[in-house]
């Protein structure tokens, strides 16, 4: 191992190999915390190395001290899982690949395979200043183990805390200058991708692929090129790369999954559906063809995305079926919980709690995660978990629970009595504004104004809302829009319909009213949506308003009115979602217009396989009718 300032995770790592390995060699590259003290509890072999911005140099220095026949390489933020005891059986290969599961948070994992176990010989050494590896030359015997290494270092908060980004970038840029190889350009592209510098990532990844497309990491280069194009809004290019990729690398679900995500973002939901169903057809078995792959692209991730798309397509039964399959396949993936709740937005929370209890097998750790998630998403269902487990109410969760219970005086008291902890509450603004409005207490804004991360103009706007119950122009920036959106959700979630009426009557601002209408629509109150919407002077905003109106009218069966608004939206800009909504309406009662819209889809969006298949099917039916 090589380590630096790893006191938070080193002990857990070393405990995972206790009794499995014969000796532990630890090289420290400059720790200033208790890392070396912790290391010495497990081994006397703790050495210092003067850091030279080269991981291979440090790793190869550590190899000099190893005396065992085989060497296992771990990082401090990793844990070894060897339930079959493979590492204590007779080993006979020179190099062994081990699966590394990178914990991305919320139960999502990126898995890759690297050589982490190898014969202790002078010929085998690490290469690469960053993402150092032992690479086979072709003469060694290689094997694969079912042993797993769990890695937490990709979790966003850990990466940010360790400030790895700039360090890694500096090392990679130096490495590129000295060795402009496909692998180094791939690593540079990965680093830019982590840092969300998508244009630079795309250039680096293209360079990597141009220098060689036959490497084990080449499929991952292609997948990351698709991700960059997606992030840059170049959807057609991303799909074209994906179509080439699924021919080059057959039966790998990751490429189909990424195309599904891109089609979804592009608005081509039926094409996304086809791609995600292809993922399920392929399954998980072939995902290992990639050096790196996302667990679940051939099963629960695809099912979860299909659930989301089914909601968008207005197929709630399909959505429920897909999400239940996904949860059954991976109950520990917290991201699935969010999708599950979105499918049941207005179910009684007591009934919903019973449903959750029957779906998610009980586990203290899992339910602690669910409670934490419910608070982070401001879901009233949190109250049922608190009550069922008889948990002590602690600030700031206590404030929200009192809001759910309608105990507003207690909520205010909690806020006032926890001055030192208030800055830890991510919902301080939301709680203060909600309480000020529901108790008609403008003074609350004044009491907390110095602690709210808002400008003077935004504070004044909130005072006007609470005091006058009317507001005019929205201050520039996203803060007020975010507060307003959460207020509307809180009003609906907590059945505070008097607050919802107050917000509707407080403004004629088209953007604020659109936010109210969108929330009403998501909760199924389509009959109220048209009463809330007002047109704007902004064409961009008007287009969103027209589409929102048409969706609710369509669900209410007012097809002619829905088409009227869709045509207005189409005049402002023609895109696939607008044409698709028209197709859904025409497919119900006007086959001639349905074919016209499908033809327009095919002409404008030649990448839509679904549109081509559907028009061919409809033209075939028309031909049969004529015969």
What per-residue confidence (pLDDT) applies to 155? 58
In whole angstroms, give the CA distance from residue 570 to residue 381. Answer: 40
pLDDT at 582 over 70: yes
pLDDT, mean of residues 286-295: 74
pLDDT of residue 238: 98
Which tens digits make up the pLDDT trace of 2-36? Answer: 999 999 999 999 999 998 999 999 999 999 999 99
User: What's the confidence (pLDDT) of residue 624?
Assistant: 47
Is residue 31 domain-resident?
Answer: yes
What is the spatial order of strands in the sheet that 26-28 belongs to?
Answer: 2-3, 26-28, 46-48
Exposed, middle or buried, 297 (CB in 10 Å: 0-12/13-18/19+)?
Answer: buried
Query: How many CA atoms, within 13 angstroms, populate the side-chain half-sphere of residue 281?
Result: 9
Q: What are phi and psi of 132, to 5 degrees?
A: -60, 145
**pLDDT at res. 154:** 66
pLDDT band at 163 (very low <50, low <70, confident <90, very high): low
| pLDDT value at 623 more than 60 | no
Q: Is residue 469 part of a domain?
A: no
Is residue 76 in some structural domain? yes
Q: Is 337 a residue whose pLDDT tops 90?
A: no
The predicted structure's pLDDT at residue 196:
92
Comparing 365 with 60, the larger pLDDT belongs to 60
Percentage with pLDDT > 90 across the chain: 73
Whether the Cβ atoms of residue 519 and residue 489 lie closer than 8 Å to each other: yes
Q: How many domains does the chain have?
A: 1
In a domain, 32, yes or no: yes
Does 188 have pLDDT greater than 70?
A: yes
Domain of residue 132, residue span: 2-155
With cut-offs at 50, 70 and 90, classify the pLDDT of residue 627.
very low
- pLDDT of the residue at 625: 44
Select the more confidently predicted residue: 290 or 212.
212
User: For 106-125, how does the pLDDT look when each residue is reduced to its tens digit (9 = 90+)?
Assistant: 777 888 888 999 999 999 99
pLDDT digits (tens, 9 = 90+) for 402-436: 999 999 999 999 999 999 999 889 999 999 999 99
How far does the chain reach from its first CA to its final CA, in angstroms?
76
Q: Which residue in 140, 137, 3 sits closest to 73, CA to CA?
A: 3
Would you state the pLDDT for residue 289? 61
Tell me, what's the pLDDT at 110?
86
Residue 216 has pLDDT above 90, yes or no: no
In the predicted model, is pLDDT for residue 217 greater than 70? yes
pLDDT band for 369, please (50, 70, 90 cuts).
confident
Residue 383 lies in a domain: no
Report whether pLDDT(472) > 90.
no
pLDDT computed for residue 576 by the predictor: 94
Q: Provide the pLDDT confidence category of residue 343 given band limits of 50, 70 and 90.
A: confident
CATH number at residue 144: 3.90.550.10
**Position 284 in a domain:** no
Instruction: Report the C-alpha gap between 58 and 51 in whole angstroms.
Output: 7
Which candidate, 394, 356, 488, 393, places its Cα nearest to that of 434? Answer: 488
Asked if pLDDT for residue 162 goes beyond 60, the answer is: no
Residue written as tokens 């079959």? 84
Residues 521/551, Cβ–Cβ less than 8 Å: yes
pLDDT of residue 105: 76
Which pLDDT score is estimated for 314?
86
Q: Is residue 619 part of a domain?
A: no
What are the CA-CA distances from residue 355 to residues 348, 370, 378, 381 (Å)? 11, 14, 19, 12
In a domain, residue 124? The reply is yes
- Which residues are within 8 A (CB) of 186 and not within 5 positions of it... i.e. 6 or more apart? 204, 205, 208, 217, 220, 221
Output the average pLDDT for the chain: 91
Residue 276 has pLDDT above 70, yes or no: yes
């Amino acid at each position: 191992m090589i380590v630096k300032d790893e006191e938070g995770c080193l002990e857990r790592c070393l405990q995972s190999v206790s009794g499995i390995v014969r000796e532990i060699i630890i090289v420290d590259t400059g720790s200033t915390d208790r890392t070396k003290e912790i290391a010495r509890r497990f081994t006397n072999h703790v050495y210092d190395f003067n850091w030279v911005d080269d991981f291979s140099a440090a790793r190869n220095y550590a190899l000099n001290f190893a005396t065992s026949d085989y060497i296992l390489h771990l990082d401090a933020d990793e844990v070894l899982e060897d339930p079959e005891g493979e590492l204590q059986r007779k080993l006979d290969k020179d190099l062994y690949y081990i699966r590394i599961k990178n914990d991305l948070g919320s139960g999502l994992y990126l898995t890759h395979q690297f050589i982490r176990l190898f014969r202790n010989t002078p010929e085998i050494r690490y290469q690469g200043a960053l993402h150092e590896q032992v690479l086979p030359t072709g003469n060694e015997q290689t094997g694969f183990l079912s042993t797993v290494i769990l890695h937490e270092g990709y979790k966003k908060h850990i990466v940010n805390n360790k400030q790895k980004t700039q360090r890694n970038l500096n090392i990679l840029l130096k490495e590129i200058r000295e060795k402009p190889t496909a692998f180094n350009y791939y690593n540079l592209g990965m680093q830019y991708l982590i840092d969300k510098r998508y244009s630079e990532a795309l250039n680096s990844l293209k360079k990597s692929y141009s220098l060689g497309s036959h490497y084990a990491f080449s499929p991952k280069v292609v997948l990351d090129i698709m991700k960059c194009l997606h992030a840059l809004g170049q959807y057609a290019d991303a799909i074209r790369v994906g179509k080439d990729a699924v021919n080059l690398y057959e039966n790998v679900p990751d490429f189909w999954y990424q195309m599904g995500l891109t089609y979804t973002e592009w608005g081509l939901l039926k094409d996304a559906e086809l791609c995600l169903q292809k993922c399920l057809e392929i399954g998980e078995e072939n995902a290992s063809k990639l050096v790196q792959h996302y667990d679940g692209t051939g099963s629960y991730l695809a099912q979860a995305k299909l659930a989301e798309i089914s909601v968008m397509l207005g197929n709630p039964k399909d959505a429920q079926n897909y999400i239940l399959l996904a949860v059954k396949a991976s109950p520990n993936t917290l991201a699935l919980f969010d999708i599950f709740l979105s499918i049941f937005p207005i179910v009684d929370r007591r009934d919903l709690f019973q449903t959750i209890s029957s779906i998610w097998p009980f586990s203290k750790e899992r339910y602690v995660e669910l409670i934490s998630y419910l608070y982070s998403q401001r879901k009233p269902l949190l109250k049922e978990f608190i009550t069922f487990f008889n948990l002590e109410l602690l600030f700031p969760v206590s404030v929200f629970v009192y809001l759910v219970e309608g105990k507003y005086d207690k909520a205010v008291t909690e806020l006032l009595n926890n001055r030192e902890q208030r800055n830890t509450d991510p919902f301080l603004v939301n709680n203060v504004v909600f309480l000020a409005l529901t108790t008609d207490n403008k003074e609350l804004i004044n009491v907390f104004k110095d602690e709210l991360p808002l400008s003077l103009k935004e504070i004044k706007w909130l005072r006007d809302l609470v005091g006058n119950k009317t507001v005019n122009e929205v201050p520039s920036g996203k803060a007020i829009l975010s507060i307003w959106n959460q207020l509307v959700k809180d009003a609906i979630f907590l059945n505070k319909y008097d607050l919802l009426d107050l917000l509707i009557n407080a403004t004629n601002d088209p953007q604020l009213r659109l936010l109210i209408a969108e929330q009403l629509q998501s909760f199924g109150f389509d009959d109220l949506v048209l009463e809330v919407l007002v047109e704007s002077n902004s064409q961009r905003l008007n287009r969103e308003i027209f589409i929102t109106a048409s969706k609710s009218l369509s669900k209410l069966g007012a097809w002619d009115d829905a088409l009227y608004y869709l045509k207005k939206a189409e005049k402002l800009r023609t895109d696939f979602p607008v044409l698709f909504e028209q197709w859904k309406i025409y497919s119900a009662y006007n086959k001639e217009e349905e074919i016209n819209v499908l033809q327009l889809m095919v002409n404008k969006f030649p990448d839509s396989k679904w549109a081509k298949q559907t028009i061919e099917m409809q033209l075939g039916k028309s031909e049969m009718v004529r015969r």
